[in-house]
C-alpha cells in the first residue's frame, strides 16, 4: 500500500506576501517578527502524515460493482429505464472495518464512461474517482480497481462523478459504512441506512451529453441555465428512499424498547432535506459520519445533498409513524417512509400535527475537537449567482476560471465561505476532512465534516490540514450548481 510520511516543511506563509508588500521598511520589520512566529508554529504542528498512514490493519475486503442499465420500479406501475450498480438502487451497502484495505473492481457495461467517487474517504488522489485529474474515466466495456484504506470511520457513500445529473441522478450511488475499530458506545439494537434523493431519468434513447472530463465541461462558456437547456435534460421522477417512492419504500420495523440508529444520507441532486420522525425526537450523534463532541437532541435534521447524519431514537411510542422530509413538496413527491412497531402493522399511520414545526438541529450545536494553531493560509469565497449568464460562482467566477486554493504539504488552510445567494449550497471538499472553526465571525470548535450546507446569508470558516497531495475538487454538491460553475480546485505547490 501507499506509505508516505511528510515532514513539516518550514516554508512559512506565502499568503501573507501581499500584506508585506506595503513598504520595504515594514517588510524588514515584519520579517524579523514573523520568523520566530513561524518557528513556533512549526513546533506547534501535528506530525504531518497522510490520512491513511499507519491505519491499515492488513485485512483486505474485495467487492465488485457492475455499472449498467436497469428497468427500475420506483413504485407499483412506475417503471423507468435508468442506471444501477449491480442492478439495484441504491448500490449494495459496502460495510467494512476502519483500516480494512478496500478493493472494489468496477466494470462499466454502459455506453458512456464512468467513475466512482468515495465521498468522505480520505484516500490517495488516484482513487478519488474525479475524472481527468484523478483518473481516466472507466471507458465503456472497461474496468478499474479502486483500492484504499477505509478511513475515517463512519457513514460514507459512493457515487458516479461523471455526468452527475444523469448518472448519479439516475441511481449510481450507494452506502459505504466504515465501522470504527474502537466503538465509543455499544451498538444500537437496530440499524438502518437510508439513502434519499431525487431520481432523474433520461427520455428513452437519449444519452448523457456532458463531457466526461471535469475541465472540459464548462469551457463552452459559463454553463448555467442557457447551457443546461441545450442538454437533453433528465426528468426528475420525484424522490426515492432506498430506491422507492412512498408508499413503496420499505417500512422500518422496530420493537418497543429498542434503541434504533438511522444513517441518513442525502444522496439527492438539489434539495435540502428536513428529516423528522413523527412521535419521536432524534439524538444526533454523528455529522458526515464523524462523532460530535456531545450528542445533540433535535426534532429534525437538515441535510444538504452529500451530507449525512447518524441519529438515534428510542422506540418508546408504539404505533406506525411517518419518517419524512418536512421540506415543502418533498414528502408528497415520495420522500417518506414509515417506522412500524412490531404488532402495530395494521394501525393507521400517524404524521405531524398540522402547523407543527419540528426544529432542526443547527451547526451551532455541533461540537468537535479543540482546534489549535493559526492557519498558514486563508482564503475567502463568496457564493453568488449571476443572473446574466446563469452561472453559480465562487467570487463571481465559474469553474474553471475560479481561483484555485493553493497549499503546501503540512499547512493549515482556512477558508471563509459566505453565501450571498438565496439558495442553499452544500460545499464539499474532496480528499480531506475539514473542521468548522468559525460561525459568523465567532471562533468555534465545530464538527469535522466533508460537506457543509450554507443557507442564505450564512458565513463559516472551515479549516483543513493539507496532508494529501494531489489536485482535488471543492464544489457545491447541488449538481445543477456544480454543472453551472460552482467549483474550484485545490492544488499542492
Q: How far is the CB of 130 from Cu ion (least distance, A)?
A: 18
Output the smallest distance, CB 340 to Cu ion, in A: 36
DSSP 448: E
Instruction: Say whether the peptide bond before residue 247 is cis (omega within 30 degrees of 0).
Output: yes
Q: Which does 55 bind (CB under 5 to 8 A by kind): Cu ion, ligand C2O, none?
A: none
Asked if the peptide bond before residue 90 counts as cis, ω within 30 degrees of 0, the response is yes
DSSP for 275-316, written as a single string: EEETT--EEEEEETTEEEEEEEEESBEEE-TT-EEEEEEE--
Q: Which is nearer to Cu ion, 98 or 424 (CB)?
A: 424
Cβ partners under 8 Å of residue 252, min gap 6: 192, 260, 262, 323, 337, 338, 339, 340
**Which of 242, 216, 267, 203 has the alpha carbon at shortest distance from 113?**
216
Q: How many CA atoms lie within 13 A of 59 on its CB side?
A: 10
H/E run at residue 262: strand 259-266
Among 306, 368, 410, 469, binds ligand C2O (CB under 6 A): 306
> Vertex 120, ends 115 and 125: CA angle to 5°?
55
State yes or no: residue 476 binds Cu ion (CB under 5 A).
yes
Q: Which of ligand C2O, Cu ion, none does residue 168 bind to, with CB < 5 to 8 Å depending on kind?
A: none
Q: Does residue 481 belong to the site contacting Cu ion (CB under 5 A)?
A: yes
- State in angstroms the smallest separation of the CB of 394 from Cu ion: 10
- Least Å from the CB of residue 470 to ligand C2O: 14
Q: Which DSSP state fits 188? A: P
Return the residue of 430, 432, 449, 481 that touches ligand C2O, per CB under 6 A: 430
What x/- string results for residues 337 through 356 when contact with Cu ion is judged by CB under 5 A?
Answer: --------------------
- Cβ closer to Cu ion: 308 or 412? 308
| Cβ contact 199:89 at 8 Å | yes
Asked if residue 309 lies in contact with residue 284, where contact means CB atoms within 8 angstroms, the answer is yes
Number of residues forming the site for ligand C2O (CB under 6 A): 10
Upstream peptide bond of 152 is cis (omega within 30 degrees of 0): yes
Phi-psi region of 46 (alpha: psi -120 to 50; beta: other; left: phi over 0): beta
Tell me which stretch binds ligand C2O (CB under 6 A): 210-218, 407-415, 456-464, 470-478. 470-478
How much is the CA Rg of the chain, to the nearest whole Å?
23
If the CB atoms of residues 315 and 473 are measured against ligand C2O, the closer one turns out to be 473
Partner from Cu ion, ligand C2O, none contacting 263, C-beta within 5 to 8 A by type: none
Which of 121, 301 has the CB closer to ligand C2O?
Answer: 121
Backbone angles phi, psi at 106, to 5 degrees: -110, 125
Q: Which of 425, 428, 430, 475 binds Cu ion (CB under 5 A)?
A: 425
In the complex, least distance from residue 475 CB atom to Cu ion, rounded to whole angstroms:
8
Report d(CA 101, CA 35) in Å as an integer.
Answer: 42
Per CB under 5 A, the list member of 151, 242, 411, 478 interacting with Cu ion is 478
Per CB under 5 A, which region of 91-99, 293-301, 340-348, 477-485 contacts Cu ion?
A: 477-485
Q: Which does 476 bind (CB under 5 to 8 A by kind): ligand C2O, Cu ion, none?
A: Cu ion
Residue with cell 426534532: 299
481 in contact with ligand C2O (CB under 6 A)? no
- Nearer to ligand C2O (CB atom), residue 56 or residue 65: 65
Smaller CB distance to Cu ion: residue 425 or 428?
425
The CA-to-CA distance between both ends of the chain, in Å, stands at 24
d(CA 140, CA 159) in angstroms, rounded, equals 17
Partner from Cu ion, ligand C2O, none binding residue 412, C-beta < 5-8 Å depending on class:
none
Decide if residue 428 touches ligand C2O (CB under 6 A): yes
Site string for ligand C2O, 154-193 (x = CB under 6 A): -----x-x--------------------------------
Mark the segment that binds ligand C2O (CB under 6 A) among 256-264, 267-275, 460-468, 472-480: 472-480
Q: Residue 132, by phi and psi: left (phi above 0), alpha (psi -120 to 50) or beta?
A: left
User: Which of Cu ion, ligand C2O, none is residue 449 near (CB under 5 to 8 Å by kind)?
Assistant: none
Cβ atoms of 420 and 393 within 8 Å: the answer is no
Q: CB–CB of 195/218 below 8 Å? A: no
410's grid cell: 503540512
Nearer to Cu ion by Cβ, of 282 and 385: the residue is: 385
Does position 123 interact with ligand C2O (CB under 6 A)? The reply is no
Examine residue 475 and tell whether it contacts ligand C2O (CB under 6 A): yes
What is the DSSP secondary structure assignment for residue 61, as one 8-state letter?
Answer: E
As measured in angstroms, the least distance from the Cβ of 372 to Cu ion is 31
User: What cell does 154 get?
Assistant: 463512519
Identify residues 59-118 at the interface with ligand C2O (CB under 6 A).
117
Residue nearest to ligand C2O (CB): 119
Contact 273, 358 (CB under 8 A): no
Residue-by-residue DSSP string for 211-240: -SSTGGGGTTS--HHHHHHHS-PPEEEEEE
Least separation in angstroms between residue 129's CB and ligand C2O is 8
Using CB under 6 A as the criterion, which residues of the chain lie in contact with ligand C2O when the complex forms?
Answer: 117, 119, 159, 161, 306, 428, 430, 473, 475, 477
**Binding residues for Cu ion, per CB under 5 A?**
425, 476, 478, 481
Amino acid at each position: 500500500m501507499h506509505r508516505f510520511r511528510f515532514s513539516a516543511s518550514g516554508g512559512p506563509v506565502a499568503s501573507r506576501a501581499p500584506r508585506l508588500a506595503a513598504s520595504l521598511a515594514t517588510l524588514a520589520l515584519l520579517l524579523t517578527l514573523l520568523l520566530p512566529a513561524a518557528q513556533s508554529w512549526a513546533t506547534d504542528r501535528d506530525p504531518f502524515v497522510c490520512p491513511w498512514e499507519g491505519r491499515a490493519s492488513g485485512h483486505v475486503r474485495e467487492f465488485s460493482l457492475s455499472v449498467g442499465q436497469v428497468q427500475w420500479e420506483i413504485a407499483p406501475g412506475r417503471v423507468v429505464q435508468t442506471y444501477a450498480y449491480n442492478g439495484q438502487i441504491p448500490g449494495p451497502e459496502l460495510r467494512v472495518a476502519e483500516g480494512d484495505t478496500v478493493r472494489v473492481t468496477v466494470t462499466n457495461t454502459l455506453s458512456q464512461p464512468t467513475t466512482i467517487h468515495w465521498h468522505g474517504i480520505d484516500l490517495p488522489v488516484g482513487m478519488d474517482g474525479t475524472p481527468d485529474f484523478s483518473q481516466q474515466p472507466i471507458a465503456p466495456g472497461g474496468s478499474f480497481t479502486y483500492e484504499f484504506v477505509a478511513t475515517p470511520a463512519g457513514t460514507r457513500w459512493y457515487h458516479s462523478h461523471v455526468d452527475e445529473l444523469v448518472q448519479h441522478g439516475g441511481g449510481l450511488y450507494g452506502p459505504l459504512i466504515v465501522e470504527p475499530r474502537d466503538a465509543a458506545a455499544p451498538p444500537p439494537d437496530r440499524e438502518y441506512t437510508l439513502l434519499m434523493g431525487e431520481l432523474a431519468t433520461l427520455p428513452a434513447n437519449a444519452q448523457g451529453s456532458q463531457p466526461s472530463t471535469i475541465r472540459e465541461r464548462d469551457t463552452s462558456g459559463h454553463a448555467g441555465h442557457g447551457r443546461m437547456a441545450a442538454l437533453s435534460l433528465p426528468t426528475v421522477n420525484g424522490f426515492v428512499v432506498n430506491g422507492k417512492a412512498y408508499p413503496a419504500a420499505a417500512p422500518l420495523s422496530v420493537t418497543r424498547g429498542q434503541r434504533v440508529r438511522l444513517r441518513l444520507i442525502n444522496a439527492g441532486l438539489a434539495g435540502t432535506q428536513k428529516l423528522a420522525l413523527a412521535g419521536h425526537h432524534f439524538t444526533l450523534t454523528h455529522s458526515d459520519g464523524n462523532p460530535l463532541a456531545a450528542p445533540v437532541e433535535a426534532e429534525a435534521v437538515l441535510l444538504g445533498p452529500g451530507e449525512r447524519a447518524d441519529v438515534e431514537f428510542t422506540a418508546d411510542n408504539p404505533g406506525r409513524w411517518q419518517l419524512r422530509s418536512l421540506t415543502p413538496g418533498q414528502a408528497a413527491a415520495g420522500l417518506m417512509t414509515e417506522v412500524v412497531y412490531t404488532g402495530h402493522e395494521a394501525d393507521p399511520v400517524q404524521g405531524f400535527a398540522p402547523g407543527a414545526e419540528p426544529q432542526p438541529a443547527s451547526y451551532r450545536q455541533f461540537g468537535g475537537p479543540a482546534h489549535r494553531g493559526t492557519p498558514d493560509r486563508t482564503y475567502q469565497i463568496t457564493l453568488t449567482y449571476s443572473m446574466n449568464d446563469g452561472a453559480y460562482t465562487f467570487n463571481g467566477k465559474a469553474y474553471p476560471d475560479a481561483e484555485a486554493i493553493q497549499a503546501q504539504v503540512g499547512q493549515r488552510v482556512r477558508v471563509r465561505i459566505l453565501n450571498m445567494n438565496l439558495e442553499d449550497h452544500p460545499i464539499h471538499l474532496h480528499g480531506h476532512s475539514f473542521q468548522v472553526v468559525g460561525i459568523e465571525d465567532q471562533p468555534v470548535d465545530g464538527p469535522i465534516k466533508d460537506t457543509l450546507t450554507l443557507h442564505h446569508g450564512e458565513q463559516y470558516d472551515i479549516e483543513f490540514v493539507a496532508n494529501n497531495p494531489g489536485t482535488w475538487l471543492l464544489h457545491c454538491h447541488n449538481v445543477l450548481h456544480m454543472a453551472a460553475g460552482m467549483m474550484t480546485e485545490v492544488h499542492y505547490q
